[in-house]
Chain A
């Protein structure tokens, strides 16, 4: 079986579920009395338990970051390009932990789970989560796995925000942080795009104020529109242009409103696929977590003050054509770390792929990320010796 997987793949992986019975207090004031987290691990935890790397996922991500769930799975996990034997996050060296965040729709407790108090699905009553809440829940998972301190916490986009939050909330529990294609806070434009996505979902007649499951409906149209608008912000003008240009599906204009341009067909397809595999309430919740993230907010807008607790080196990576979280947003974070006197490295990787670049193979990105991770491993080996 395993022979059918590429040699630099972690191969067949099986998700696990951890159940937590002690309550988790949330930023919104509510408390989750019990919750489950679904997660995967790749590689082996060392005897010293010091080689664990936590991978945090982005808006529509989940625990399945690398490898395959079955021999027939068409595509590997979402960050397979960077997790595996010999890859940037080398599973021959590191023990990688990847989970689905609370509020997700891939197996961790979320809007689709049953609320034990009501016996009904949580639906729209599931508490709105924050990045800080997620980090607290991830710390519980680390406790469960016997990981006192992560060798690194890494993530792209919303995942990068979680890595940032780890270094602020648990500075003693993280030895390195990599924040990729992220931002220390969303701009008005970012929030605006999220709001359009939310309105698309909430105004879908099949949304039923979030109780669509009880009406045996799915707000497909809303989810589709939300994904279409989101997807535009993940790509660059250049990558869309080079991929689709003004190409038509047929060889002539039809003077109608059906799909004519290839880019329309692509976006509709992306939207359709997404609308059947992602939960609307989770999407709403995840976009809110994005909007709310602002560590500087509690420090009068002073990001350097917010980062004062940080006690580990940062790697910050941006991509030249990313306009969702542009390089300037990463530099805001870098400059705040400089002002706070923290260890930080910054690389602006040349890529035509916009925000999505953090998921895609790229030699320079692979080289800098891999170099950063290898140095971590060399230092761990030094500690052990």
Chain B
């Protein structure tokens, strides 16, 4: 499982009702259903991802996140998870409100644009960073709202959303002491667990 998914897996309580936004091939939901008795739905638009979810017995709905979560009632579930999708949304701030309407708590993982390699890339080459976590060129990237670890923390503060837990990860699993000390600089992927209200 991807490094950020492993961390998220540990954060999910048993028997939770979950919504996974951009669930990909359903790996996380399938593992959670099998080992933690979690139930829920994944939202995905990629045809291969959808087919893979069906093969795993994961409930998957073809639904574009930019169309909102209007088909889910307030508090429809316990936890909403969104990995690697925040930066591709038209209005990430509106989505955060929507997620915290549908569940009291959510977990969001996204590429941290302030990662030192990205900073170096921009500083030395004067060009938009292209990396393992941001593999696209500026003109064809789906990532239209890049942000940093600190940006997201500020958004939560401005919205009166409580940050329960935060972490950074790298694509090769192991956390490093430096990323705990300076997450905004040394974290490649930012992961937040936030709760509605203060």
Contact = CB atoms under 8 A, between A and B. Distances in A.
Contacts of A375: 54-57
Contacts of A125: none
A331 interface: yes
A345 B71 contact: no
A345 B23 CA distance: 13
A338 B42 CA distance: 12
A307 to B, nearest CB: 15
Q: How large is the interface on A (under 10, 10 to 19, 20 to 34, 35 or more residues)?
A: 20 to 34
A73 to B, nearest CB: 33
Interface in A307-338: 313, 315, 331, 334-335, 338
A345 B55 contact: no
Nearest to B19: A338
A368 B71 contact: no
Contact of B54 (A335, A371, A379): A371
Nearest to B53: A345
B166 interface: no
B38 interface: no
B153 interface: no
A347 interface: yes
Given A331-B71, A335-B71, A338-B41, A368 B51 contact: yes
Nearest to A304: B73
B76 interface: yes
A367 interface: yes
Interface string A357-385: 00000001001100110110001000000
B50 interface: yes
Interface string B23-67: 000000000000000010100000100111111111111110000
Contacts of A315: 54
B41 A367 contact: no
A172 B180 CA distance: 52
B55 A344 contact: no
A339 B75 CA distance: 11
A191 to B, nearest CB: 26
Nearest to B40: A343
B67 to A, nearest CB: 10
Nearest to B17: A341
Interface centre among B55, B58, B76 (most CB of A within 10 A): B55
A375 B58 CA distance: 10
A343 B59 CA distance: 6
B72 interface: yes
A346 B61 contact: yes
Nearest to A332: B71
A282 interface: no
A348 interface: yes
Interface string A164-201: 00000000000000000000000000000000000000
Contacts of B50: 345, 347, 368
A126 B55 CA distance: 44
B54 A372 contact: yes
B78 to A, nearest CB: 12
Given A334-B71, A338-B41, A345 B51 contact: no
Contacts of A343: 39, 59
27 contacts: A313-B59, A315-B54, A331-B71, A334-B71, A338-B41, A338-B72, A343-B59, A344-B41, A344-B61, A345-B50, A345-B53, A345-B61, A346-B61, A346-B63, A347-B50, A347-B62, A348-B62, A364-B47, A364-B51, A367-B51, A368-B47, A371-B52, A371-B55, A375-B54, A375-B56, A375-B57, A379-B57
Interface of B: 39, 41, 47, 50-63, 71-73, 76
Given A313-B59, A344-B61, 9 more contacts: A331-B71, A338-B76, A345-B53, A345-B60, A347-B50, A347-B62, A368-B50, A371-B51, A375-B56
